[in-house]
Structure 1
Amino acid sequence: MATFRQHFILLLLLCIITFTQSAPLFLGKYAEKPNKLSSYEYKTQYFTQQLDHFSFQDSGKFSQRYLINIDNWVGAQRKGPIFMYCGNEGDIEWFASNSGFIWEIAPRFGAMLLFPEHRYYGESMPYGSKEEAYRNSSTLSYLTAEQAIADYAVLLRELKQNLSAEGCPVVLFGGSYGGMLAAWMRLKYPHLTVGALASSAPILQFEDIVPPETFYNIVSNDFRRESMNCFNTIKESWGELQSMGENADGLNQLTKTFHLCGALKTSQDLSDWLSSAYSYLAMVDYPYPSDFLMPLPGHPIREVCKGIDSAADGTSVLDRIFYGVSVYYNYTGAVDCFKLDDDPHGMSGWQWQACTEMVMPMSSNPEKSMFPIFSFNKTYEEERCMRSYGVKPRFRWITTEFGGHDFKTTWKNSGSNIIFSNGLLDPWSGGSVLQNVSESLIALVTEEGAHHLDLRASTPNDPDWLVQQRTSEIRLIKSWIDDYNQGKGSAFSI
C-alpha cells in the first residue's frame, strides 16, 4: 500500500521526496465499484451509535450499517459462534464480497456472520451525509480507530443481548486496516471475543518500529524478481516524466502518451498514478485472476513486465511504461481514457486518518528501490495536514493507544489468540508480525502470498500452500472455540 490522495485499505502513508509520493489511493476510472453481493446472501441492518463513546456529554448519534447472515447459525442455545469482520476504510459490501473464506467456513462452525461498517465510510455517515461529515476538522474529529473499535464492541454486545446470545463465542476477522482493527480489538476488548484473524495487518508500520523504506523495497523486489529489465525501466521512467513535465508541450505529450481524459497539470500527478499502480500490483499479485481492486490476470506483475519488456526495439521508456501499466488500469480493454483521481470505493476518509493518528512513515532507498529517492519528513507532514485540515498529526499516538514497541514482550504478557497471516509478496507484510510471539499469538507466513489472499474465496486454482494456510487457520479458530466451549459447557460440537 502521491500524498495521501493516493490506500490502503488501504492503505495509506505520508511521505515526501523531491516531488512528494506515498502509498496508493488512486484506483482509476474503471475500478470495480461495490455492488450488492450476488453470491452471498445477507440482510442489511442499521444500528444507532454514539458519535463519541469516550465522553458523557451527548455529541449526537449516527446510523451504522451492518450486514448479517444467520443461515448457518445453530443458535444461541447451542452457543453457535459469531464471526465478525471488522470493517475497513470503505464500503462494507466491498469487503464482505472479498472475504469468501469467512462465508465458506461458516457452515462448518454453525456460525453467524456479521459485517459492521466503519464509521464515516459507505452509508455509515455521521451528521446525515458525507458532505457534512467531511466538512471540517470538527465534524471529522470522531473518525478514529478507537471510536470505530468501540462501535464494534457496542454493536456486538447489543446484538448478543437482543438474541440472548451472551454465551456465544465471537471470532474477529479483518484484512489490511480491518486486520489491524481486529488485532487491536482483541487486545483492547479480550472479554468480548475468543480470538482474531488479522490478515495482512501492518500494525508495526508506525514510528521507527520497522525501517521506513520497507514498503517500497518489497514492491521493488516483487518487480525485480520478475524482470530486472522491467525494474530498471520503471526506475528510469521517473526522470523522464519529470524532465518532460517541465514545459507545457511536454505535459501535452504525456497526456497523449498515457491516454488521459483531461489535460495533465503536473507530471507529479502522473507519477502518483503510476506509483499507485505499482504498489497495488504488489498487493494483489495473486496467482489467479481477480477483481479486488481492478480486473487483473493471475500474476499481474509478470504480465505488466511482459508489456514493458516485449515492446519493439526503439520504443521509448514512457511508451513501454504505458504498455505495462495498462495491464493494471485497462486489462479488460474497456477504457478509452484515464481519469487520475477517482475514488470508487469511498476511501477518501483515510486522508483524514493519515493526518491525525494513522501516520505510517515511509521512504525510498535508491540502492534497493525502483522508486525515486525520498524521505519521510515530519515538518512537511505537519504543514500539509495543517493546510488540508487545520490539524497536526500525532505521530506517536497509535503506539501509545495500542502498543507496538517491544510488542514481543508486552503482547506475550497481555494478549492471546491472534493469527497474524501474511504473504511476503505483499508490501504491507513488512509492517506486520512475521514471527510467533507466544503459543497463542501465531504468525502464518507464506513466501508467495499477497494482500490478505487467505481471506478471499477458495478457487480450483489455489496453490497447495494456500490450502494449507487456510487449514491451519481453521484448526486454530476451532481450538479457540473448543477451549471456550469447554468452559461454558457448549451443546454444539464442531
Structure 2
Amino acid sequence: MTGRLWAVFLGLVFLISIRYSDGLLRDPASFLKTELLQEYVGNGYKWNEEWFEFMPIDHFDFTSDVKFQLRFLINLDNYRTAGPIFFYTGNEGNIEGFANNTGFMWDLAPEFGAALVFAEHRFYGKTQPFGKESYKSVQNLGYLSSTQALADFATLVDWLRKERIPGAKNSAVIAFGGSYGGMLSAWFRMKYPHMCDGAIAASAPVFWFRNTKTPEDVYDRIVTRSFVNAGCNGKAVFQSWQALRKLSQTAVGRVFLNNQFKLSNVSHITQPKDVRFLIGYIKEAMESMVMVNYPYPTDFLAPLPGWPVDKACKSFESPKNSDQEYAKALYDVVNLYYNYTGTVKELCANPETCEGAFSALGDPLGWPWQVRAVPKW
C-alpha cells in the first residue's frame, strides 16, 4: 500500500510540473467553492517545540567550536516506523507561522505515515545564535546566510534520523517550503541529495537573480495579472498612482492624503517626494495580498478575508472622476490589508519609522541583510 501511495504522490508532482511547464498558470483553488474549503483552514495543529543544542555557528570553519541552539517543531502523531520525514525548511520568520499555514504537509502526513518537522532558520524567531546580540554586529550577522542555514538543516536531518525519530535511520526525507523557504527546499535537495530524497518548492523564485533571463519585474507582472483577473480595471489602478503624485504637489493635496490614509504623525507627507513611501507602502500591501490570496480567511501575514484580492478590486471596477476618488480607492485597498479587523486607528507608511507588510514574521532586520549580502550572480 505504501508503494502505491508514493506512486500517486510522485505522479501528482509530475503532473503539476507538466502543467506549469505548459504555461497554464491557473490557480486550481479558484475553481472550487469557498465554503467547501473551510475544513482545510489550519487551526489547532499540534506539535512539540524542541531544540537541537549543538548546531555549529560555522559549518565551514573547522577551527571554530562555537555552537548554538536551533529550534524545531515536531509532530509524530501519524508517524509509522521507517515512514518518511516531511521537513519544512524554515523561512525568514517565526517557524510557528509557517507550521500553521502549510496545511499540505499536515494533510499528507496521515496518508504516508510521516513525521512532521518544521525547522527554524538561524537568526529568526527564537533561534538567535548570539541571543540579544545576534543583530548587534556585522561579525555576528556574517553567519546569517542561506548556505549556513542549509548546512543547519542537513545536520538536523542527520540527527533526527539517527537519534530523535525512532526507526527513521533509513527514512526518506521530503523537503517542503514556500517563497524563500521553497528556495531553500529546492537548494537542500540539490546541495544535499544524500540527505534529501525530494523537495516541493512552492512559489520559489530560484532563478530570480541578476544575470539570469528572469525579468526583474516578473513579480510585478504577476501582481498586476492577479488584480486584473480579479476584476480590477487596470487603467484605473494606473491612474490612481498618478493621482497620488498630483495630490502630493500641493499643500492642500498633502493634507488630504494625510487625512484620507489616516497617516500617523511620524509618516506624514510633508513634501512632494514623501509620496514615494506612501506608494511603496500600498504596493507592498498589494504584493503581499497576492501571496496570501487564499479562498478562506487567514492570519498569516495579516488577518484577511477569503479571496482578499477580489474584495480589494471592488474599489477599482471602473475609472474614477477625480484624483481624490482614486486616492480613496487606494485607501480602501491598503486598509483591507493592514486593518481588516478595524482595530487599527492610524496607518504608518514611512519605512524608516514604521513596520512593513511582513512585520508579522518578526526579525525585520534579517531579510534586508540577507538580500543585500547575496553576491551578484
Normalised to the residue count of structure 2, the TM-score between the two structures is 0.78
- Retained in 2: the 8 A contact 1:80–1:111? yes
| 2:183 counterpart of 1:180 | yes
- Retained in 2: the 8 A contact 1:43–1:69? yes
- Retained in 2: the 8 A contact 1:88–1:178? yes
* Partners of 1:228 and 1:345 in 2: CA distance: 29
Q: Report which stretch shifted further, 165-174 or 82-91.
A: 165-174
| 2:310 counterpart of 1:302 | yes
Aligned counterpart, 1:201:
204
What per-residue deviation string (whole Å, max 9, x for no partner) do you get for residues 213-236 of structure 1?
Answer: 22111211222233453x222212
- Retained in 2: the 8 A contact 1:277–1:325? yes
Equivalent residue letter for 1:198: A
Aligned counterpart, 2:226:
222
Q: 2:237 aligns with which of 213, 234, 238?
A: 234
Q: 2:330 aligns with which of 289, 313, 321?
A: 321
* Partners of 2:83 and 2:232 in 1: CA distance: 52
Aligned counterpart, 2:49:
44
Aligned counterpart, 1:139:
140
Deviation at residue 302 of structure 1 after TM alignment: 1.9
The within-5 A match list for 1:92-111 is 92-111=95-114
| 2:97 counterpart of 1:81 | no
Deviation at residue 307 of structure 1 after TM alignment: 2.3
What per-residue deviation string (whole Å, max 9, x for no partner) do you get for residues 332-391 of structure 1?
Answer: 32322223332222152110011011xxxxxxxxxxxxxxxxxxxxxxxxxxxxxxxxxx
Equivalent residue letter for 2:50: Q
Give 3-state SS (helix, strand or coil) of 1:64's partner: strand
| 2:159 counterpart of 1:158 | yes
The within-5 A match list for 1:262-281 is 262=265, 263-265=267-269, 266-281=274-289
The within-5 A match list for 1:281-430 is 281-309=289-317, 316-340=325-349, 341-342=354-355, 343-348=359-364, 349-357=366-374, 394-396=375-377
Aligned counterpart, 1:168:
171
Equivalent residue letter for 2:309: I
Q: Which has the higher contact order (CA 8 A, sep 6+)?
A: 1
Equivalent residue letter for 2:161: K
Deviation at residue 248 of structure 1 after TM alignment: 5.5
Deviation at residue 59 of structure 1 after TM alignment: 6.2
Give 3-state SS (helix, strand or coil) of 2:69's partner: strand
Q: Over aligned residue pairs, what C-alpha RMSD do you find?
A: 2.2
5+ residue gaps, structure 1, are: 1-36, 358-393, 397-494
- Retained in 2: the 8 A contact 1:309–1:320? no
What per-residue deviation string (whole Å, max 9, x for no partner) do you get for residues 88-146 of structure 1?
Answer: 110000000001121122122111111110001000011112xx211232211111111
Deviation at residue 187 of structure 1 after TM alignment: 0.8
Q: 1:121 aligns with which of 97, 120, 124?
A: 124
- Retained in 2: the 8 A contact 1:46–1:66? yes
Q: CA separation of 1:289/1:310 partners in 2, compared to 1, >3 Å: closer, same or farther?
A: farther
* Partners of 2:196 and 2:46 in 1: CA distance: 25
* Partners of 1:114 and 1:224 in 2: CA distance: 38
* Partners of 2:59 and 2:243 in 1: CA distance: 51
- Retained in 2: the 8 A contact 1:306–1:324? no
Deviation at residue 181 of structure 1 after TM alignment: 0.6
* Partners of 2:137 and 2:276 in 1: CA distance: 27
Q: Report which stretch shifted further, 309-318 or 133-142.
A: 309-318
Q: CA separation of 1:267/1:189 partners in 2, compared to 1, >3 Å: closer, same or farther?
A: same
Q: Report which stretch shifted further, 288-297 or 309-318.
A: 309-318
- Retained in 2: the 8 A contact 1:308–1:320? yes
Normalised to the residue count of structure 1, the TM-score between the two structures is 0.61
Structure (1 or 2) with the greater helix fraction: 2
* Partners of 2:288 and 2:194 in 1: CA distance: 36
- Retained in 2: the 8 A contact 1:311–1:320? no
Aligned residues: 318
Aligned counterpart, 1:32:
none
Equivalent residue letter for 1:41: K
Q: CA separation of 1:190/1:337 partners in 2, compared to 1, >3 Å: closer, same or farther?
A: same
What per-residue deviation string (whole Å, max 9, x for no partner) do you get for residues 271-295 of structure 1?
Answer: 1110101111222223333332222
Percentage of identical aligned residues: 40
* Partners of 1:344 and 1:172 in 2: CA distance: 24
Deviation at residue 74 of structure 1 after TM alignment: 1.6
What per-residue deviation string (whole Å, max 9, x for no partner) do you get for residues 188-230 of structure 1?
Answer: 111112211111111011122312222111211222233453x
What per-residue deviation string (whole Å, max 9, x for no partner) do you get for residues 296-354 of structure 1?
Answer: 23332221121234798666211121123322222232322223332222152110011
* Partners of 1:257 and 1:68 in 2: CA distance: 46
Aligned counterpart, 2:68:
62
What per-residue deviation string (whole Å, max 9, x for no partner) do you get for residues 53-105 of structure 1?
Answer: 01112162221111111112123xxx121111110110000000001121122
Aligned counterpart, 2:264:
261
Give 3-state SS (helix, strand or coil) of 1:44's partner: strand
* Partners of 2:373 and 2:282 in 1: CA distance: 26
- Retained in 2: the 8 A contact 1:308–1:324? no
Q: CA separation of 1:134/1:152 partners in 2, compared to 1, >3 Å: closer, same or farther?
A: same
- Retained in 1: the 8 A contact 2:232–2:313? no
- Retained in 2: the 8 A contact 1:308–1:323? no
- Retained in 2: the 8 A contact 1:70–1:111? yes
